Structure formats: C-alpha cells, structure tokens
Amino acid sequence: MTKVTSKTASDAGEKGKNRTGAEALVQELVRCGVDHAFGVPGGAAIPIFDALCAEKRIKFVLTRHEQGATHMADGFARASGRPAAVLVTSGPGATNTVTGIMTAMMDSVPMLVVTGQSETAMLGKDAFQEADVFNITMPVVKHSYLVKRAEDIPRVVREAHYIAVSGRPGPVLIDVPVDVGRAEVPGDAGAGVDLPGYHPEAGGGTPVELEQIAAALDKAERPLLLAGHGTVIAGAGAALAALSEKLRAPVATTLLGKGVFPEDHALSVGMVGMHGTAYANRLVTECDLLLVLGARMDDRILGSPASFGAGAFIVHVDVDEAEFGKLVRPDVACRGDARRTLEALLPLVRRRTAGGAWERRVAEAKRKWPLRYAARGGIRPQRVIAELQALVEGRKVILATDVGQHQMWAAQFWRCGNPRRFVTSGGAGTMGFGLPAAIGAQLAHPDALVVALVGDGGFQMTMCELATACVQRLPVKVLVMNNHMLGMVRQLQDLLAGARHSGVELEGNPDFARVAKAYGAFGEHVTRSNDLRSALRRALAWDGPAVVDVETVAGEDVFPMVPPGRPLEEMLLEMPETADGKGGEA
Amino acid sequence: MSATGSGTHILSLYVANRPGTLARIAQTFSRRGFNIESLVVSPAADGKFSRMTISASGEDAVVEQVMRQCAKLVDVVSCHEHDPEGAVGVELALMKVAASGEKRTEVLQITDHFHAKTVDWTERTVMIEATGSTAKLDAMVALLRPFGLKELVRTGKVLMARGEQAT
C-alpha cells in the first residue's frame, strides 16, 4: 500500500543544511505515499504550513472547518484505500477533528492527523489555544504521538503511517509542538520503525482452523456468508464471489460491506440488520452456518446478541482478535485477512450444483419480501434514489451518504456493484459526513461521478464545505432529501415514544438552491414529482458542483425495521398500528 | 472461553516504555466499567520496556475481552493472566501503628510472627514493613488494626511466572 516516491534533492533539504521538524514531517509524509492533505492553519501550525509551501507533491486542500477536513480525508481513504493527512492547528483546531477521528476509528479507516501544539515549555500551562489533544483523542485513535524532540519526527511519521494502514486500519494522531516543528532535525536522525508490540500481519488462519471451517461449510445445508468492511479493506471481493458461487451460498453484507459483492447477483441478499432487507434478516434466522467475514457484528446488525444466528454454526473471521466473542460467541474464531482466508478455503470445499433447495429458498425469500415503497403521494425518497440510479447506469459512480433515513434508503435501494463506491459513516453515524466525504472521494477519483446524498439536517452540519468544492472545482453533486425534519429521530419517536415529536422539526431551513448559487455552484429546487428527472439531468450535466434540493414526503418511514435490541425475527415491515415504547432502547 | 464465573484476575503486561501507555491501558479498563484494584508499573530488565501487574475483578469473559483489547494496543507487547499456582505473587505493605508503652511488645510479637520488620520508631508510633501474599498481609492488617492502624500503604501485587515460563 505504501508508495515510496523517489528521493529528490528536497528530501534531504538543501545540502549542508539540516531540515526542520516541520520540513521532515512533510517530507516523510510524501515518502510514505501521502499526496493529499486537508486542513485549516493556525498559530501553532505555522511551521508545518510553511513547510508545505516547498512541497509540491502534497496537494493541500483548505477546508472551511476542521471537521470537514477529517471527513474529506476519510472519504478519500474509503474511496481509494490510501490514507490522506489532516493538518490543523492546536486547541479548537484540534478538538474540531475529534468527531472525524472517531468516525474513522469506528469504521477502521486509515488517517494521519497532524495537530499543531503549544510550545513544549508551555504544555500544561493553559497557553493560548492549548488543549491536551493527545489525551482528548486517546479513546478514538488507533495510536497517537506527542512529539517532544524534532529528531523523533522521521521515525514517528513512518510509524504512524504504518500503523494507520496495516492490520485493522485506523486514525493515528501526531501532536507537534510549535518549537519542535521549528527545531532542526539532526542529519543522522533515524527513521526506522520501532514497534515491538505491534504485529498486524495476518495470514489466512491456521491449517486447523481452515480445515474446521471447510468441514463445517461442506456439512452445512444452508450456509450464509456475511461480508463486512474487512472484506473491502482486504480486497476480498473476487474470492468472496468465488466461494459464494462454489458453495451456492447467499451473501449478505453489512452497511460498510456494501458493494464488495455485486448487488444484482442472484446470490446477493443485500444488507442485514436493523434496516436490512427482510429476506436477508429472514435468511440469517434460517441458515445453519453463518460465515462472518471482516464484520464486527455490532448492535445494528445483531438485533439482540443472544438470538443472532441462534440456529447456526457461527464462524468469525477477522484480523482483529479483540472482536471475537465481544457480542457473539463464535463456534470457530479465525484470525485472518478476509481475502487470504477465503482464498485458502476455496480449494478445501466441495463444489455444489446450482439450483439446490437452499438456493431456491433464497430466491423465494427475495420474491416474497421485496423492498418496496408507495409510488404515489408526493416525491418518495426511495424513488429519488431509483431515478438517480437509472440516470447514471453504466458510469463509474461513488455514492457518499450522510446519516439518517436517506442513508438507510440508499443502503436498501442503491445497487452497488463495486467495493469502495458506497461511502458512508456506519459505526459512528456522523451527521455532516456526506458532503465532505464526497469531496474527498472526488479527489481520489477525479474520473468518477461523485454524488453526496444528504438529508436537510446533516447537510447543514458541514454545508460550508460547498465553498471547498467550488474552490477546488470538484463536480460533486449534492442531492438533498429535504423533509424539513430529522426524519430518523422522528421515526424512532413514532415507534418508541408514543409519536411525541421532540426536537425534530427543522424550521428555518434556507433555500438550498439559492445557498448553492451563492457559493457559485449549480442549484435547483424540486417540489414536483414531474420535475425530478430533468432537474437531476441538469445537475449531472453541469460542469461543477451542483445542489438539487428535493422536497420529499415528510412522513415516510424506513422499513423493514428491527426495533433496537430486538431479535431479527421481530422485524417490522410497516409502522405498527399501536406503536409504543416497548421496543427497547435506541 | 467460559462465559460464567467472576473473581479477581491478576494480569501481567509487558509494554514499551513510552508516554501514554499507562493511560491507554487504564482507559481500556475504565471503558468497560472495570475497577482496577491495584496496578504496579516498574522498569523491566530491558529498560526500553515496563512491566505492569494489574489486579482487577470482574466476569471472566469480560476480563478476557479486556485482555485482548489491551494486547491490541500498539505499545503492549504481551498481556497474560497467570493462575496463582503457576506464579509467585507478592506485595509489600507499610503500616504505621499506634504503639506506646506496653502495647509495643504485642505489636513486635505480631511483626516477628509475620517475618516483617520495623523501619521507624517514635514515641507513639511504629512503622512496619511487611512483604508476602495478599492473604498474609490482610491477616496482619486485621491483627494490627485494634492497636490503632494510623496509616496503611500497600504496593499492590507484583507477579512473576515460575520456572522457565515467561511472565
């Protein structure tokens, strides 16, 4: 994954002159293959931003808010598999990154966050814009550094990059006091990685484990494969498809696994869990073997831990041993890289003939409980997704979503045929993620059509990054599902709080089309069903960022739904007549 | 991997001696609602590493999970739980006892019995240093308490695996 760029004169600084800590930092980032950085400067980050001036191999994107910078780096990494850097100043600049770091951590996304810090001598003395960022971020980073000596910078940057991208990826933070950035790095400063406690390399599993899994797969009558983000990270798509076809086993995915298995495949059953497809949830309860690959089986997937896959032999494959038995106790736990495990399993299992009883049951379940929505009565949000899909069929499209109802409709209705083409905040559920993540994804894939599907609530949390899209001339298309409401919360209140709506109505939304125009983007407001397709066409044809604000039906609910904490069997296909508070906790 | 059972667990961690390592480990315990009963950190034979001995009580299955999360930390080289038979575990205690006049003889008898020693004398107090198993120190403290135990400082347990086994 690491791209080592060739050494040039600027790598070692001018002859006879030692480089500063900040120069070393930027140069080492380049050596690690980092070519994009997002951020906002400030007093304590002056040396780092100064060093950027001389380093043309990093494209720096100035954002309007540090949270946006982290989500851009996140979107860049999810879409490309390569980490980007976030460069911010101390104090509030650094604390503004916390949400984005936590978002990346929850979803195992590599990221290098460099924060300026007060002078070493002032640490802990409440200096201007001083915050103890090393400790504030500790629970939400994979690892972090507070660099006290300039000579440590080359080693720290290389370690940080290695940690961020290897094993189960994640964000790594480097806090650099301003005087360390200014100090000279001795010419002989070592850059060797020294991590005696870190062993991220994972093979496919032990021979015993693989034999056990293969035997269980061969014995199973109703095997089901559940693919999570780990299969995307490992590049396991081809091996997953091969195993599924050899076993004639259906493949369900988590939200973050979406796209790793083509969703138009007969054996694809879509997403499992709280808002998963009815057939996927049903088949999880019917299967006799569940092969969970690179998924951590969180509460949104399980329903209730005790009932999940209760009738099945559960095999859990993950690079991270700490996931085994966290919520669900597997019958076989196998520490393995999903691609390597699948490739090792392939020759060990017997090929099954197509059209068996289980495969017929899969097809029947898909026919019996299809995803559906009402066709009439205003613009249905699900239809907006279908219209968009029809218009972009055959193109390289990356859909980035925000968080809420629209995200779940996208997970249900958007058919995704490739990994890294559906960018969404899963574990953290961070509103405001969609637009900046789309900007990052567009920078990673200039040739792709990148669409940010957002709600009116989340959009306004990072809407200022429209300026970034305009300045960078990135043709990101923002599709706003506007129901003037925090719709997912409203739905939960309908179901769990006696339909008493509290704090969910978004009064005073601006005219998003005019906001877009004010930033210099294309903007259009769609209120009538008949205008939807043509407005989308105009936005897609526009050479630059565009916002289409679609007035969608306000009371629409996301179904199927498994009430929080309930078993998958208790999935609801529509709002019950007497929704009340018995459903559990949100 | 038994899901049942709970009790005190003695964990031994071998960690890189770097800033923040202790805080990361403490956070890993506190996030799961664990109360650490004692924690001892000291330099290892190789000064680049430290040895931590942590006593914590909780459900076996949860302890196992916390151990995995600790082992996953970048600066943690290893994290083991040792059963009492396979390891030597001792702690040290300093006890300041109110002991004037004729009471001193009794206090000294108790000190002798536990193979402990006095390390400070004043007119009204005696300070005793004792090492040994947690149970032994608990018993000694119980016997001295009626005399007036003015202060008690215990190191918490340190542990080393027996024989060829690595700690």
Is residue A64's pLDDT more than 80? yes
Residues in chain B within 8 Å Cβ distance of A326: 65
Determine the Cα–Cα distance for residues A229 and A235; give it in Å rounded to an integer: 10
Which of A163, A321, A329 is opposite residue B74, by nearest beta carbon?
A163
Extents of the domains making up chain B: 6-81, 87-159
Quick check: A163 and B31 CB within 8 A? no
Quick check: A322 and B73 CB within 8 A? no
Beta carbons of A445 and A398 less than 8 angstroms apart: yes
Q: Does A329 touch chain B (CB under 8 A)?
A: yes
Is residue A511's pLDDT more than 80? yes
CATH architecture of B6-81: 2-Layer Sandwich (3.30)
Is residue A390's pLDDT more than 70? yes
- Give me the pLDDT at residue A415, please: 97
Instruction: Provide the token pair at A342.
Output: 């699948």
- Give me the pLDDT at residue B89, please: 92
pLDDT tens track for B63-83: 889 999 999 999 999 999 988
To the nearest whole number, what is the mean pLDDT of chain A? 95
- Give me the pLDDT at residue B101, please: 85
Which of A138, A198, A324 is opposite residue B20, by nearest beta carbon?
A138
Choose among A12, A17, A73, A23: nearest CA to A46: A23
Choose among A548, A282, A240, A248: nearest CA to A391: A548
Residues of chain A with CATH 3.40.50.970: 9-182, 381-559
B4 confidence band (pLDDT: 50, 70, 90): low
Q: Does A321 touch chain B (CB under 8 A)?
A: yes
Q: Does B153 touch chain A (CB under 8 A)?
A: no
- Give me the pLDDT at residue A579, please: 59
Residues in chain A within 8 Å Cβ distance of B25: none
Q: Which of B27, B72, B79 has the most A C-beta neighbours within 10 Å, making it the best mutation to test the interface with A?
A: B72
CATH number for the domain running over B87-159: 3.30.70.1150
Quick check: B64 and A325 CB within 8 A? yes
Class of domain A381-559: alpha beta
- Give me the pLDDT at residue A379, please: 97
**CATH fold group of domain A9-182:** Rossmann fold (3.40.50)
Is residue B3's pLDDT more than 90? no
Determine if the pTM surpasses 0.90: yes
CATH 1.10.3720.10 fits A207-368, yes or no: no
Quick check: B69 and A322 CB within 8 A? yes
Residues in chain A within 8 Å Cβ distance of B80: none
Q: Does B24 touch chain A (CB under 8 A)?
A: yes
Choose among B53, B56, B48, B62: nearest CA to B17: B48
Q: What is the mean pLDDT of residues A313-330?
A: 96
- Give me the pLDDT at residue A1, please: 41
B58 confidence band (pLDDT: 50, 70, 90): confident
A188 confidence band (pLDDT: 50, 70, 90): confident
CA atoms within a 13 Å half-sphere pointing along the CA-CB vector of A419: 24
- Give me the pLDDT at residue A477, please: 98
Distances (CA, A) of A216 to A209, A243, A334, A343, A387: 11, 14, 13, 16, 43
- Restricting to B residues 72-131, those with a Cβ less than 8 Å away from any Cβ of A are 72-78
Q: What is the mean pLDDT of residues A9-27?
A: 74
Q: What is the mean pLDDT of residues A291-319?
A: 95
Answer whether B6-81 and B87-159 agree in fold.
Answer: yes
Determine the Cα–Cα distance for residues A64 and A68; give it in Å rounded to an integer: 7
What element of type H or E holds A66? helix A66-80
pLDDT tens track for A126-169: 999 999 999 999 999 999 999 999 999 999 999 999 999 999 99
**Closest residue of chain B to A320, computed from CA coordinates:** B72
Is residue A584's pLDDT more than 50? no
Determine the Cα–Cα distance for residues A152 and A446; give it in Å rounded to an integer: 36
What element of type H or E holds A342? helix A338-345
Residues in chain A within 8 Å Cβ distance of B27: 138-139
Q: Does A306 touch chain B (CB under 8 A)?
A: no
What is the value of ipTM here, to two decimals?
Answer: 0.90
- Give me the pLDDT at residue A577, please: 76
Is residue A9's pLDDT more than 70? no
Q: What is the mean pLDDT of residues A325-347?
A: 97
Quick check: B24 and A321 CB within 8 A? no
